Amino acid sequence: MRVQLLCPPPSLEGAWIRPRHAPHHAAIVAAALRDAGHSVHLIDEALKTTHLRDVQGDCARDACDVVLVMQGDYNRAIQPVVLDTVIRGLLAAAPDTPLFGVSRLREDTARGAMEALPSLPGMVFGEPEFSAVALLDALAKGDLSGVGGLALRTEAGITTTPPPAVDLDDSPVPAWDLLDLADYGFRPHQGPEDVTWPVLASRGCPYSCFWCEVQGRPAWITRSPQAVVDEVIELHRRYGARTFFLADPLFGVKRAWVIDFCGRLRDASLDIQWSCMTRTDHCDRELMQTMADAGCINVLFGVESLNPYALERAGKSLDPDTVEPAVKAAQAAGLEAVVSVMIGLPGDTPGGVERTIDGVIAMEPDYAQFFVVQVPPAAKHPDGRLVGGWEGGRFDFPGHAFAPEAFGPEAQLRRLQRRAYRRFYLRPSFIGRKAGRIWKRGDARVEAKRLARGARLAVSMALGRQPSR
């Protein structure tokens, strides 16, 4: 079948904003459909437009047998009203072409998504590449009754079938040839000169921090170390990929898995480097050294706060005393340590946030990032309220800003965020250290370019502007 696989824009109004993450799940779904013999046209409208007529035009240009619309993707949540408008527009433009949503959701959250999208006729969910292949097989046969992980709108209401149990090792290498990874956002701590290739070793997370986008998704599921190494080798072979981002929301849940993975990666003897995101209570010096020996150059620690009460109220279950040892262990192993902070956790206060910023600066990580907590409307918490409108494309955490009880309007949170960036990045000691590093690194030109791009990003965020590439 000819498949139009569409990633909708996060917004249909306001200025266009470059997405920071490629639509990873869409690329996996596209690869699975191609492997099953279908032809796939993948369009990431988030890269192109905020206008419905452009989306309709793109769809109309290519004749297809079925339209699949991503309901969300890796670090991409789309406001239901935007998504519903897009779906309505596509159905109006091609009323005879079957249209289904696609998303990595559980059965209950898929039902909720169908309820929030009254124009959507049906949706595949679960681990979506498997459900999508089953859907297309069933469409070809004209009988949808055996498809697992399918929600359908019928006259009697919404029906759902449980998604099948799957082995992620059967999941294909994403169809990155259908997208240009160079088009996506840049992060100072992850991007040397070349393109960064995302790889998912697992999906989901066993923890349940209340703001996190993994909420509402299927349970944590992992691939085998060899399957992940095979994907890295394949991307290196196919595209000459050198720099990888292990994009798991939480890389390294199991220590033995990481050690096994690193051993296999080392044995592959590739000239590559990689980064990942993890928790400080999952790290020690030996593990950091094992990762460094396997090509890891950068670890982002999801710390969020050094206020134990706020961490507890947010469901983070992290001991703040683990943060500094982990940062030091990473740096001792030669890795760059990045600390990620959330401003506005339930139970936090303006003073608590300032103390977290003080503490992070004192630890001297290589980089830090500061986000205002943003959550979809369903993620309510008794210790605060949603403030402001839905921010879609601008941040890694789409949704409404969340203000804990001790905070006033959203502007107060944004002010603290800008102040955090200014305090961390515009310190003479930080700038001096980074400048000194240029001359210590083997390739001073590459390092200087990286630093210049990072500085531009940090300054624009300190000023509260949307960073450009």
Give contact residues for ligand SF4 (rule: CB under 6 A).
205, 207-209, 212, 214, 249-250, 279, 302
Rounded to the nearest 5°, which phi and psi values hold at 118? -65, -20
Structure tokens of 393?
A: 């494309």
- Which residue, 176 or 211, has its beta carbon nearer to ligand SF4? 211
Alpha carbons 368 and 135: distance in angstroms, whole number: 43
- Which residue, 279 or 381, has its beta carbon nearer to ligand SF4? 279
Least distance between ligand SF4 and beta carbon 207 (Å): 4
Identity of the amino acid at 138: A
Least distance between ligand SF4 and beta carbon 228 (Å): 18
Number of helices (H), then strands (E), belonging to the chain: the values are 14, 20
Q: End-to-end CA distance of the chain: give it in Å, rounded.
A: 37
Query: How many Cα atoms occupy the beta-carbon half-sphere of 405 within 13 Å?
Result: 6
Pair 274, 243: CB distance under 8 Å: yes
- Which residue, 148 or 252, has its beta carbon nearer to ligand SF4? 252
- Which residue, 249 or 359, has its beta carbon nearer to ligand SF4? 249
Least distance between ligand SF4 and beta carbon 406 (Å): 22
Least distance between ligand SF4 and beta carbon 209 (Å): 3
- Which residue, 208 or 466, has its beta carbon nearer to ligand SF4? 208
- Which residue, 55 or 214, has its beta carbon nearer to ligand SF4? 214
49: buried, middle or exposed (CB in 10 Å: 19+, 13-18, 0-12)? Answer: middle
- Which residue, 367 or 425, has its beta carbon nearer to ligand SF4? 367
Strands, sheet with 374-375, edge to edge from the N-terminal-most edge strand:
374-375, 399-404, 384-391
- Which residue, 131 or 305, has its beta carbon nearer to ligand SF4? 305
Least distance between ligand SF4 and beta carbon 367 (Å): 18
- Which residue, 28 or 214, has its beta carbon nearer to ligand SF4? 214
Structure tokens of 402?
A: 């969340």
Cα-based distances in Å from 356 to 298, 397, 406, 420: 22, 20, 16, 10
Alpha carbons 338 and 281: distance in angstroms, whole number: 15
Q: Is the dihedral of CA 382, 387, 390, 394 positive or negative?
A: negative
Least distance between ligand SF4 and beta carbon 223 (Å): 17
- Which residue, 160 or 307, has its beta carbon nearer to ligand SF4? 307
Least distance between ligand SF4 and beta carbon 5 (Å): 26
Least distance between ligand SF4 and beta carbon 210 (Å): 9
Least distance between ligand SF4 and beta carbon 412 (Å): 23
Least distance between ligand SF4 and beta carbon 419 (Å): 23
Pair 199, 244: CB distance under 8 Å: yes
Query: How many Cα atoms occupy the beta-carbon half-sphere of 384 within 13 Å?
Result: 30
- Which residue, 205 or 247, has its beta carbon nearer to ligand SF4? 205
Pair 100, 135: CB distance under 8 Å: yes
Least distance between ligand SF4 and beta carbon 311 (Å): 10
Cα-based distances in Å from 47 to 87, 120, 338: 18, 23, 27
Q: Of 225, 218, 77, 101, which Cα lies nearest the Cα of 158?
A: 101
Structure tokens of 301?
A: 């620690």
Cα-based distances in Å from 188 to 193, 429, 457, 461: 11, 18, 7, 12
